[in-house]
Amino acid sequence: MKMERKLPLKDAWLILFILGVVMLNYPFLHIINKDILIFGIPLTILYFFIGWPASIFVVYLFSIYLGKHSDQESTEEKQETHPFGDST
């Protein structure tokens, strides 16, 4: 049962990493590299200053989810091994 849950979580970390690499690579940077100013700031600079913190925030939310999920899983394990809380 544990292996079923851990495999998709590892896949999600890998997907987040690949998405970050793709977003900072040639195709996206070429699309964003335009002579457009938004509030006097070039679009490429806004892409970095908004996209980078947004990706960090997504990883932060994902790690919070993992923390809560692992806490629930560890309490379930303790309840399965010792249903009444005593170790004898």
The answer to the question of residue 45 being in a domain is yes
Q: Which string of DSSP letters, residue by residue, matches 17-86? A: HHHHHHHTSHHHHHHH--S-EETTEEHHHHHHHHHHHHHHHHHHHHHHHHHHHHHHHHHHHHHHH-TTS-
The answer to the question of residue 58 being in a domain is yes
The answer to the question of residue 48 being in a domain is yes
- List, for residues 35-67, the tens digit of each pLDDT value: 999 999 999 999 999 988 998 898 898 888 877
Q: Give residue 35's pLDDT.
A: 92
Q: Give residue 16's pLDDT.
A: 85
Q: How many domains does the chain have?
A: 1
What count of Cα atoms within 13 Å lies in the side-chain half-sphere of residue 3? 0
For 57, the domain range is: 41-77
The answer to the question of residue 24 being in a domain is no
- List, for residues 10-26, the tens digit of each pLDDT value: 777 888 889 888 888 88
Q: Give residue 73's pLDDT.
A: 60
